[in-house]
Each structure stands twice: as structure tokens, then as C-alpha cells.
Structure 1
Amino acid sequence: MIKRLSLSAAALALILPAALPAQSPGQPAATDPVFTAAAMRAHVEFLADDLLQGRDTGSEGHEIAARYVASQFDGLGLEPAGDADGQGRGWLQRITFQKTERTSTPATLTVSGPAGDQSFTHAGDVLIGMNAAQPRLDVRAPLVFVGYGLENQRFGLDDYARLDVKGKIVVTLRGYPEGLPSEEGAHLSATKAMIAEQHGAIGMLSIGTLQSMKARPWARMVQFADEPDFTWVSPEGQPFDQAPGIRAGAALNDPAAQAIFAGAPQSIAAIRKLADRKGGKPKGFALKTSVRIQSESASQRVTSPNVVAILPGSDPVLKDEYVVLSAHLDHIGVSPAKPGEPADKDRINNGALDNGAGIATMLEVARAMAMAPNKPRRSIIFLASTGEEKGLLGADYFARHPSVPIRQIVGNVDLDMPLLLYPFTDVIAFGADHSTLGPIVAQAVKPMGVSLSPDPMPQESIFVRSDHYMFVKQGVPAVFLATGYANGGEKAWGDFLSGAYHHPGDDMSQKIDWQAGARFAQANYRITRAMADADTPPLWFQNDFFGDLFAPQARKASK
């Protein structure tokens, strides 16, 4: 039996006086606001209730969640910063999305070469992409192996050197070379389609390395084989596609990978062995095979909102600079029924920790900011984004269509899936090494007895998998803050990622440590205040990869 939320109880908890401090060791300053376990729990109880059906992008449940967040902003006296109409701005930034789904006709990939023809069907040993611009996709082209498919002068990457891929389909290794810094490598890996397009390729296939297959086994990839594709649509009605020239794409498991390398001068095994060495960069070469990719899809337009509010700054000069505190409001909805499952099986992905807990943290920081007798010097934008689970789409749209000019946004902290299952004693700020946000975070939480730890799971490429990355790409120093691996955190993270993560088990039945939630809210209040109140805004470090790439003219700080 699935227990439903008593909404009256949740509402009551939000208006009860804050009676208990969030910390015992490392007490905050006496002037700091108090954060309570009850308030954190109440927000998550509402957002993770079955009534909201997992808050999927474009769903009624997400719309209900968006109204809840907007009502909280309204009650705090914040200013709406969503879409403008004749009456002024509202709380919602309404985004149109293009949603593309598969038809009943299975997509296929056929390999032709020295071993004859071999055909593979989607969700077997190949995962075939869809192309909304070509609902009846049929692409045939010869193949060229291009190593990791990366180019970057700074890191000595030139995988397309002396290779002709114009009009062809490139084959890339997943990930990036061993020894490359994880966050830079994760970013470069995310640019492969654009690089292939620049060289004239029309398609891209990816094959696993020993490391990537260990980090993300094929069985895990296949679990998401039938999810629809989403992209945002511009105000002018144009669907966003960062590499429209790449008409077809697929990921290949070993049987399909072996087929495309038939007769090749180097085997898959040899290539993987080289790639597994530090600095290993397999060289590309033309393959003796070609592929034909066929896929059918159907698209529709749906809408879903970001929720945006501003707390104006108190400083007459600095109020025109904005700090963004963001958290994604969406989750993955209801899982489809599988053959043979009981009719009453729980299939609602409630998303209590992912990311009800992040939204609750943001709301409690907003409450503390709004009620503080001394308001922050810089203005604060509170962003509850949509479409994060579809590819960071709501944050990408906001960063490209912000409520204020992007040059006035000086920093972003993103809150995504704080794991409130243990009494954390450290936090991870993914991206902390690139800007003064790292030292800002470390100093802000130090009085609480909380330390800042480095990325403990670089193989997961977390840096490019949460909303802050979209602000980074617009030149804004940004970090993604999460609870750390110390004091039982490593086991808690391992258990969650292999269990409740993106499953119905991420609900209120978990043994959530709500006092840890209050503590996490306290930490983020201190971080956001530090960003907002400092004489100097967050700055990229000199010679930093991301600062040089996305904000080459911006003022830099010495590291």
C-alpha cells in the first residue's frame, strides 16, 4: 500500500516556528537563521507525493509542483521573474519542448562489409538515436574510426588529423583519454557531435572502452532505450539542435562493434587495451565496412515551465549583479508497466531526493534570505528548472533566455540530489577548481565543521550532467553542490545509485535524515550569502580551461 501525503500536515509544518538549531558541532553564528528538519520534510512530502505522479516534464504533476514553488515564492514576498505579459512578469517561464518518440517500427542498423551483411535491432546490441527533423530516417554511409573523436590544442588532441570523414559516419570511443582532467574531459566528450559535424560527417557511432563499460554497463544503458527525446524550442519556433548535420547516431555493444571492425587493420581488443593506458590515444583509420541506419519517429510539442523569482539586493550598486541558486523541479514520471508485473506494483518515480530535496533546500534558503533583517547586497535569482532529466534543457533555456542580461549574472550554485541519508560532514562542489567559488564554498561551510572534498567519482562525468553546466557554457562561474563521501557518505551514495536512484524507491519510505537536510540548507544559505555579500563577485581563475573557453574577456583571479 502506498501512503499518500496529508497536505494539511505539510502546510502546518511550514508555518510552525523554527525551534531547533540545525547544527550541534560547528555551530553557525548567532545571527544566522535557523533551519528545521520539519520544514525540509514538509516541502519534500508535498513534492514526492503520489498525486504528482513523478513530476515528469510536461505533465500535470509537474505543473502542480510548479504552482507550489510559485506560491512559496509569492508568500515570501519575492519578485516574479518569469514570462512578461501586459500585466508585468509572472512566476513561470513557459518553455515549449519538442518531444520525439519511436513508432511501432523497430529501428535497425545494418553493417555491410567483408563478412557480408549483419542487421541489429534497437535495444538489442545497438541503441539507435532518433532524428525529429527526419521522422523516416534512412542513412547509408561508409565508416571511419576516429579514436575518441576529440580536438583540443590545449590538451594535444587532434583525432581527425589526416582523416577524410566528409559524408561519412564516424566511429568514436566513449569518454576521453585516460589522464585527461575529468571535468575538462567530460566537457570535451560532450562536444563530439559538433566536432564530427565540423569535419563534414553525417553520422556518429560510439563504442565502449574498458573504463566506460565498467562505469556504465550495456545493461544499464538499455534500460533507457525507449525514453523519448526532448529539445527546447526557441521563441521563434526553432527546435534546438547543437549538431543538426549529424543525421544519425547509435551506441554499439560488442557484437555490433565487432561487426563494424571486420577486416580492420586493428582489433577492438587492441584499441581498448591502448585506450586503457594513461595518455593512450588510439589513432583513427578508415574501416572496411559501411552501415545503413533506419529509424521512424513521431514528434509533438509540449510545454513545461521554469519557476523564477528574484530577491532584490540591498546595495545600490551591487544589486544590479545577480547570483543564481538553482535546483531542478522535474523528475522522470511513471515507469511503464512491464509484462507480468502485478497491476498494483508501485511504478511512480517520486523523486524525493532527486530532486525534491534540492528544491526544498532552495526554498528554505529563499525563506531565510527574504526574512533576514539585513538583505543580501547582490540580488538573488531562485530558479526551479524543468527538463533537467531530459538533458538539462530548462536550465539551458534559461541561461540562453535569462530574466536579466547574462552579463549581470555573476555566479551559480546548483542543488541536485543532496543525499540526505546520513549526517554528512563534507560537501562536494563539482567545478570548484575552476573559479573562486571553490574557496568561497570552503570558507562558508568551515564554521559549521563541514569540509570541501574533491570529486570522488570522476568516471561518472558529473560536471556535465547537472544544470550548473549550462551556466558555465554561458561564461558564468558555477558549481554543483552535493553531500560528500565522508562519515558514511561513500556507502550511502553507492547504495542509492545502485538502488533507489531513478526508481520508485526514491520516495518518503527511505530513512531520510531530515536534520541533515536542515544542515544542508544552512550550508547553502551561508554559501549564497558569501557570494552575494562579497565586495568581489565570483571570478574564473587565470588560465582556467572553462574561463578561457567561455569567458575569455572576463576579469580573472589568481589561483
Structure 2
Amino acid sequence: MSKNCIAEPLDARPYCPRKTPRVRLKLLVVFILAFAALAPGASVSSVRWLADVKYLSSDQLKGRGDGSPELDQAADYIAEQFRKAGLEPVGGGYFQPFGAVVGADLGTQNSLVLLGSPDRSYRLNQDFIPLTFSDSGDQTAPLAFVGYGITAPEYQYDDYAGIDVHGKAVIVLRHEPQEDDANSVFRGKETTRHAALVSKAINARNHGAVAMLLVNDPLNHSDDRLVSFGGIQGPTDLGLQVVHVKREVVEKWMDQISRSLRELQKTIDRDLSHQSFLLPSDLQVKMVTDVRHRQAALKNVVGYLPGSDPALRNQVIVLGAHYDHLGLGEYDSLAPGQVGQIHHGADDNASGTAGLMELARLFAGDEHQVRRSLLFIAFAGEELGLLGSAHYVEDPLLPLDRTIAMLNLDMIGRVNKNKLYVGGVGTSPGFRPLLEEENDGAGFQLDFSDSGYGASDHMSFNRKQVPVLFFFSGLHPDYHKPSDTWEKQRPEETARVLELVARVVGRLDAAEERPQWVAVRERRRSSTPAGDEEAGQGYGPYFGSIPDFGETAKGVKFADVREGSPAAKAGLLAGDILIQFDGKEVRNLYDFTYLLRAKNPDDEVPVVVLRGDKEVRAVVKLGRRE
């Protein structure tokens, strides 16, 4: 495109004003309107933005964990800032409530007993502890030792080969074979997916076990501490009781049959030989687990700025940012040794939330500045799986068919080397040229992605066919750690980000036509800067579904099915609920992930989905990730 040609807003085709006076006049009107929308009484204040970040990431708010009183304090603060800015409530208030599972607590009925003469009872928190994702229940079962509890056909390894564990409580070593051997078939010293405790639990359940007793493996891990309850995340409907038991407890059980965990592990690690066996039938455990999943009332914070044009004010531009974080790091902390400390979440996502409030002040500074209406939403539940935005798009306060675009701010406070990531530019034809033009004044090095999917709240809107843009300054070593603090934010650079976002909003508001949503043909790649939404990302087989993170029913509901993907070719549709994969029950996304990753490209896999009230069977020929 030559310097004399300007891309028409929301249209990918270039136009040359000198050749077309009518187009030149139209563009002049658009730019005048856009400029008017960016000349409110207020301006972006980096000082005010940083003050908001300081408060939201302060010790007082204790990391803004979902379901915490401190998250409610943050919600009250955001609502008050919306009110002071001049935004109106929607539906009678500034809050949109919804419920979610936000964690788990240990009940009062947990016990572990080795039956015998006499019975031997063990102490909760000292000898054993249930895992957070354990089912509650009461089981009496004989024991089986199943090595590391791994089935890995890609490494020709299966601890369950030749042993029937139906109805058994399986004893499973943590980690994986030969973990300290650079020549191990299990990717040398790298940890594979098979070491994950959730993977071991799903594998045990799929082989018919009723309970799993994890034990610290002795060769490479001399420390025999129990995991902390709440420190390992997993599904809420696993279908298996899971406890972590002290090694010294299990060693005494093995002594009764003249076996040793250390010797068993040595033998497995030496040549990957099969060492699984059933313990004598008179060695049984009675296990009661009482894990209570904690429900909480969360709320999105919503403020409305009505447009001034009677013909356009019923159209809405949504600006969003999530305001929740990890609290004390019980879930998803990337600093496991610091669980229990405040995870401040300054960049993730006090930065975006403060930016949202600053944009509200900017646009509300002049009640006549925007023609279309603006809706500002601070989402809760993002860290739990985009729950707040998923709830909003299923129960919108303003009609989605009148929502012309959604702009999402997530981690915008640490621009590095002048680089700004913008996702979603392929969801409407004019987005890329619009951003390139408006960036002339901002001067960022823009890193574009066409995709409207990713691990943030814009994804919920994209799957409802709303054009989206996602502004993101990049990952850093403090992500999901207590060290994500306000001192590391870059207010001047962030002010430039907000000014760019404001100009983009101004252009969308000034355009005569609303942006048209288009489906992006996604590349099948193993990762993106914002993450990958599909189960099985980063591994060979490709299925082609997008899970609905807001759906809590049993199975995996497809928010979308990628055009031309293996799932689409098999006739699967958005809205289908996957309940079986390769003959195995699918209860949740963890199950789907585990089962998909066990397959190879070109495998033909039978699946069963619910479509309405009918079961639909299909065979999916898996593709290969590029």
C-alpha cells in the first residue's frame, strides 16, 4: 500500500483518496468523528492508572482470589470508580452475579485404616491427606501395587499390563521412571505429561480402580512430605478417591509381604520391567474421603455509557478486563514453594482493570463524545476458566446481536522493548489496517495474531461471533508468582497502550458500518503467545474443537468446531457435548485431554456426543499439529 492510500475503516481494501473525492470526504468525516471521540474532558493519566494498580495489587486485597472477601472489596472499588466516572448501572446495579466452584475444603470425616488384627488407623495431615480433586466416598478395597501408574504406549511402557485392578485401591509411585537419567525414553530428564497426578488418577480410574494411594518415590526424592491440600488442581468430578500417603506407612505394608518400595523402584528404573502385583487379599484399606467443593457467588462489574446518536446508540462496544487473580496461590501458582503467600497480580490483571477504569473516565468525560454506547465490564472467574465472560455471553445484559466489538485488556502493564501483542485482528476484515494506521501515532512494534481464541475473556465473545481485539504486553518471569508487584509496572508505556485502545474505540464508534465478524481459519500450532484453548495443545494429534469453559455439565461441550478440522469432517458441531472418546467415558476436559494425548495423528477414534437429547456416534480421523 502506498503512502497515499488509506485503508477504509472496517474494510480490508485499500482506497486512494486523491483518485476518489467522495471517498476522501467520507474518510475526512470518519477521522473528524474519531478525533472528536478522543477529545474528552479527561485524558489518560499514568499516575492515576498506577494508583489503581497499587490498590488492586496491595497486601490489603490479598491477591483477589475468586470467592474471597478481598475480591468483593475489589468489585466494590471498581463499581465506585465507574460511578464516579459517570457510568450508569445496568439492570438496576453495577454487578452481574453468578455462581462458581472456587476451591475445596477438607470435611470432618476423612480417615484411612489398614484392616487387620488389630486394625491400624492413620492420622490426617500427618500420615495421609486427600488430594483436592479426590471424590468424596467410603471404600473398603484390597490393594495392588502398580509402579508409577503410567500407561504410555509411545514409550512401550504400561504399569497396568497383565494386572486386573477392578475394585482395587492402587498404590502408585509419584513422578516417572528413570527421571534422573538423561537417556531415559521418558524424554531424558524432562518431565512428561505422565508424571502429572491428575493423569495418574484418570489412568487408574480408566483401569477400574476405585481409589489411588500416592506415595513419594524413594530413589530420587528423599523428602517424604505430604502435598498441601489445595496445592494441586484437577477436576471436580474425577470418579476416584485419591489420597497421598507417607512412604513410611506404605513401606510397613510392604514389609508384611517381604517387599520394598526402594527395590521395586530400582528394578523398574533399571530396565523398565513390569513390577505390578496384587497384594494378599487380607491386606485391605478402608478409606473415607470428605472433600467439599466450595461454591461462591462471584460478580462481574458492569458500567454503561449511553451513546449520543439516536440511530446508533443501540449498538454497543464492550471493553473488558478480568479483575480476579490467584489469592494466596492455592491454584495455578507457578511458584509452588510460595503457596500461601500473596500473589499480588499487578500485571495479571490489575493492569488491565486499572486501564479499564481509566478508559471509563476518559470516555465519560464528555457525555456527547460517543455515538454508539460503551459497556465496561470487569470480569471475575477468569482464572478459573473464563467463567465471568462465559456467563455474560450466555446471559448478556445488552443483546449480543447489537454488540459490535469486544476489546480485552489483559496484562498490559509491562511493555518490553516497545512490543505490544494484539490478538483477534483476523476476526473482522478492517481490524489490521485500522490498528496499523492508529499505531502511527503510538509507535509500538505490533505483533499481530488473527486468532480470536486464547486464554482470556475475548474468547467467550469470539465464539458468539462478536469481533474481538486482545491487547497484551507479554509474559514475564513474575507471571502467576507473588513477585508480580506494582513496582515492576511501566506506567508511561501503559498510558500509550490505553491511548491506542482509545483511538481504536474512537474509530469503531465513528465508522458508518459496524465491523463484520469472520471466522478465522486457525493454524494448528502447538502454542500461541496467549496460550492454546484446545485440549491436547502442544502434542501431535489434532482434533479441532474449542471447549466451552463456562459449561459445567458432565462431558465436554464444544463452543465451536474449527472449519475443516478432523472434528468438523466427522460431522461434529458447536453445541455438541462429548461424552465418550475411544470407548472411554469423558466426564470433563481433563479426561478429554488425557485420552487425546494418548493418540497419534491419523488414528481413527470412535466418539459419542450428545446433540440435544440424542446420542450421535462418529469416527474422527485425527490430524497432525503443524
TM-score (norm 1): 0.55
Match of 1:539 among 506, 518, 530: 518
- Of residues 528, 542, 551, the one that matches 2:505 is 528
Structure 2's unaligned 5+ residue stretches are: 1-33, 115-123, 155-165, 176-198, 213-220, 245-260, 280-284, 331-339, 525-533, 535-543, 547-558, 564-626
- Contact preservation (8 Å) 1:429, 1:481: yes
- 1:350 and 1:518 map into 2 onto residues whose CA distance is 21
The separation in 2 between residues aligned to 1:347 and 1:539, in whole angstroms, is: 44
Q: 1:249 to 1:429 in 2, by over 3 A?
A: farther
Q: 1:424 to 1:104 in 2, by over 3 A?
A: farther
- Contact in 2 for aligned 1:93/1:308 (Cα 8 Å): yes
Equivalent position of 1:426 in the other structure: 419
2:59 pairs with 1:65: no
Equivalent of 2:105, from 101, 122, 140?
Answer: 101
In the TM superposition, 1:145-294 aligns within 5 A as: 226-227=229-230, 244=237
Contact 2:132/2:231 (8 A) holds in 1: no
Aligned to 2:88: 79
Task: Give distance in 1, aligned partners of 2:400 and 2:269.
Answer: 48
Contact kept? 2:131, 2:230, Cα under 8 Å = no
1:71-121 alpha-carbon deviations (Å, 9 max, x no partner): 12122332223xxxxxx521011233344223588899x9xxxxxxxxxx9
Aligned to 1:353, the other structure's residue is in SS state helix
Q: Give the SS at the match of 1:89.
A: coil
1:506 aligns with 2:484: yes
Return the alpha-carbon distance in structure 2 between the equivalents of residues 365 and 296 of structure 1: 47
Alpha-carbon distance between aligned partners in 1 of 2:226 and 2:504, rounded to the nearest angstrom: 37
1:358 aligns with 2:352: yes
Distance 1:40 1:141, change over 3 A: farther
- One of 370, 376, 388 as aligned partner of 1:375: 370
Give me the whole-angstrom Cα distance separating, in 1, the residues matched to 2:227 and 2:508. Answer: 38
SS in 1 for 2:396: coil
Q: Which residue of 1 aligns with 2:20?
A: none
The 1:39–1:145 alpha-carbon spacing in structure 2 relative to 1, beyond 3 Å, is same
Q: 1:333-482 residue pairs with structure 2 within 5 A?
A: 333-334=327-328, 347-372=341-366, 373-377=368-372, 379-420=373-414, 425-432=418-425, 436=429, 439=432, 442-443=435-436, 445-447=438-440, 448-453=442-447, 463-464=454-455, 466-482=456-472
How many equivalent residue pairs?
427
Q: Quick one: distance in 2 between partners of 1:268 and 1:473?
A: 50
What's the CA shift string for 1:327-385, capped at 9, x where partnerless? 1112233469xxxxxxxxx94433322221111111111222223543043x3321111
Post-superposition CA distance 1:210-262 (Å, at most 9, x none):
xxxxxxxx9xxx999633899xxxxxxxxxx99957556899xxxxxxx9xx9
- State the Cα deviation string for residues 42-74 of structure 1 (Å, max 9, x = none): 222332333333322233322222111111212
Superposed CA deviations along residues 302-336 of structure 1, whole A, max 9, x for unmatched, are 32321012223445455444332211112233469
Distance 1:530 1:426 in 2: 22
Q: Any conservation in 2 of the 1:130–1:296 contact (CA below 8 Å)?
A: no
CA distance in 2, matches of 1:439, 1:416: 19
Distance change in 2, residues 1:146/1:362 (3 Å):
farther
The unaligned stretches of length 5 or more in structure 1 are: 1-28, 82-87, 111-120, 150-165, 174-191, 206-217, 231-240, 252-258, 271-286, 337-345, 486-492, 555-559
Confirm or deny: 8 A CA contact 2:318 2:376 kept in the other structure: yes
The residue type paired with residue 96 of structure 2 is Q
**Alignment partner for residue 312 of structure 1, among 306, 315, 324?**
306
Any conservation in 1 of the 2:143–2:278 contact (CA below 8 Å)? no
Distance change >3 Å, CA 300–CA 444, structure 1 → 2: same
| Aligned mates of 1:386, 1:50 — CA distance in 2 | 19
1:483 aligns with 2:470: no
RMSD: 6.2
Given the two structures, how large is their TM-score scaled by the length of structure 2? 0.50
Q: Are 1:52 and 2:31 an aligned pair? A: no
- Whether 1:130 and 2:133 are equivalent positions in the alignment is yes
- Once residues 208 and 319 of structure 2 are traced to their aligned partners in structure 1, the CA distance between those partners, rounded to angstroms, is 39
CA 1:267–1:334 in structure 2 vs 1: closer, same or farther (change >3 Å)?
closer
Aligned to 1:517: 494
Q: Does 1:327 align with 2:327?
A: no
Give the letter for the 1:92 counterpart.
F
Distance (Å, rounded) in 2 between the aligned partners of 1:411 and 1:327 = 14
Given that residues 47 and 65 in structure 1 are in contact (C-alpha distance below 8 angstroms), is that contact kept between their aligned partners in structure 2?
A: yes
Contact 1:100 1:229 in 2 (8 A): no
SS at match of 1:70: helix
